[in-house]
Structure 1
């Protein structure tokens, strides 16, 4: 029976093999009878010829990518190059951007995620406008896609947005660290105190199909599981085919959404069985016969 094509990044050193990080998922796909093809992620991400990056893809039909992160623009280039080969990604470029960048999903989840304000670009005046819009108090800084949380005190945490000079120093350091990967603009998020490890949940067609540990803490599964009743309707309303939603328990006991991301480029924690993820995708994704 026809099934969806799974695309993975090739190993840069052995391009006929999948990148080792995604090899367990590629093996699980083959074991389930799904076709697998490899793309040159490094070439694509660096702005190289998308047609060359997908030269090894020869199976037409619907496809799902599982690999390293791509900017929204490079994902659009990947989509176009694959379409020239009659391969159609389940997630369109517009939906990828909506899931991949915080401004695309924030409004739908505003009631269950920290209050946020953002800029388009890295201009100081726009940053100050966003800072004043959010109001005084502590905040967490990131760009439209990602933070520098491993540089918490120098490039992520803003103790008080009322101190414009200090806040701008954090923003400047974030911009330096992110370099060419800086995406969209600055995002300021109201700081909320959380307890315990984050939980990563996987949603396909607006329905949660898997929940477990976050990749940063793969051996810390959630105690009792997150409360998905509040975000469920909002995630479904976003009409995104494949996403992850990261949640954490606030110190008052309420579960809050930390992040929503496109599932194609969301990391799988080592503690999550690759076969479980692949089987969930194969059960829900469109097949060549349904085109």
Structure 2
């Protein structure tokens, strides 16, 4: 309970002389700053605080409020089946064996030949797609997807009928395979040769520049997903081997890697693109990216919203 001369901070819930408290206030200042802090408008700050359920210290209550706010049909309908539809048609082993394999991966134990064979055999889905596992990657119809996936989390959903019923796991696994949730930091290393040291320094600077651009990882994950969908799910036009969207997504990624004007390139890309992007309108995030305008910060390193740790998505 707040004292006579104190009040409760509307953000963190601590007893302080003012609200928001000095710490929270330092994170929502609207005046321009020279460092890399985000400039968060008060209206946006209040909206986020409301969606998180207010200044409650209980993490479960915050998570419950978050799920309530973002469990609307337009946010999850793209990944839903009927409530009684099982997305898995055939499993490579019993649920108990699959759960044991997931435990071994989480504990860092070496898998046996039999366990690896089970993962390579994979799961046959109700829509005809097949998903197997190779190291930390998932393969769709035998083709390895671009990025590592949270193998433990995925296996536990695939092997548990109660968890997977009603969900379009083909769409979910496709998204996971195209999103980079395992971003490694370049390790410190000394090179005896001058040439090797320069190459190492240039690579580190390149990775640091990418990390400092807001939405860099998000845009590249999106373009990776669009390219995959264009190659595997969208029929190409007549007289084309691949859909032009596949080449478009690769071209935009290369352009973002080697030039300045990140926000301008992204906004222009979603105005001038090949026909066929409307085939992906069922996914709610695509319409939001079409309205992308960038941020005011040119250097604002951000932590990933989702990260794979020990094979689990956190």
Scaled by the length of structure 1, what TM-score is found?
0.25
Higher relative contact order (CA 8 A, sep 6+): 1
Structure number with greater Rg is 2
Larger helix percent: 2
Larger strand percent: 1
Scaled by the length of structure 2, what TM-score is found?
0.24
